[in-house]
Chain A
Amino acid sequence: RKEVEQDPGPFNVPEGATVAFNCTYSNSASQSFFWYRQDCRKEPKLLMSVYSSGNEDGRFTAQLNRASQYISLLIRDSKLSDSATYLCVVTSGGFQKLVFGTGTRLLVSP
């Protein structure tokens, strides 16, 4: 079983739609949680950290459920520019050792 699991998608949505991605992780000792965004053939970039109380950054909302070891990302009012792969990332075995999910691909169409 992979340490971080994501639905690979792709999720095809029209502009303006709301879309949600989920991620599960297996290491209950994981301390920190993130969503990264990766455009085609580019480097990953931090989208947002995920906090236990849930957090929002503009159109993006992240939630963490430690009991269920589950992380989510909600994107409201999707834009064409949101088309990318979204990587769920957790720390494991040490503060900065990141474990990446394989990513969920999002395609937003006009």
Chain B
Amino acid sequence: NAGVTQTPKFQVLKTGQSMTLQCAQDMNHEYMSWYRQDPGMGLRLIHYSVGAGITDQGEVPNGYNVSRSTTEDFPLRLLSAAPSQTSVYFCASSYSRTNSNQPQHFGDGTRLSIL
């Protein structure tokens, strides 16, 4: 199993550009989520999904869109990139939407710089 796969690993954008960060998991996990990690802030939840067709906002959703058309994929879209969105982005998944003791499996991360 590949686990959670994120692409790209690195990206540099100009202010105002849009892009999609890809996340795929091959573990048939119900729950998927996106976090951003900034120095001194810890990981913060952007959006999450409890299953195909179901998404919801996390702590810091502004400027980002998500969709979940399949169980496997959970892309994160930056609509109009801003320097404040420079960060490391992690996608995570876990097996059950209801069992909070299930471990979250993280992807390797995407390092995004907005100029």
The judgment on whether A and B are partners is: yes
Q: How many A-B residue pairs have CB under 8 A?
A: 57
Residues of B46-60 contacting chain A, CB below 8 A: 48, 50, 58
Residues of A1-59 contacting chain B, CB below 8 A: 2, 4, 8, 31-32, 34, 41-46, 49
Q: State whether B43 touches A44 (Cβ < 8 A).
A: yes
Tell me if A100 counts as interface (CB < 8 A to partner B): yes
Report the count of interface residues on B (CB-CB < 8 A). 26
Per-residue CB contact flags for chain A residues 44-86 toward chain B (1 = under 8 Å, else 0) read: 1110010000000000000000000000000000000000000
B interface residues, Cβ below 8 angstroms from A = 31, 33, 35, 40-45, 48, 50, 58, 90, 94, 97-104, 106-109
* Contacts A/B (CB < 8 Å), 5 sampled: A49-B101, A95-B97, A97-B45, A99-B45, A100-B42
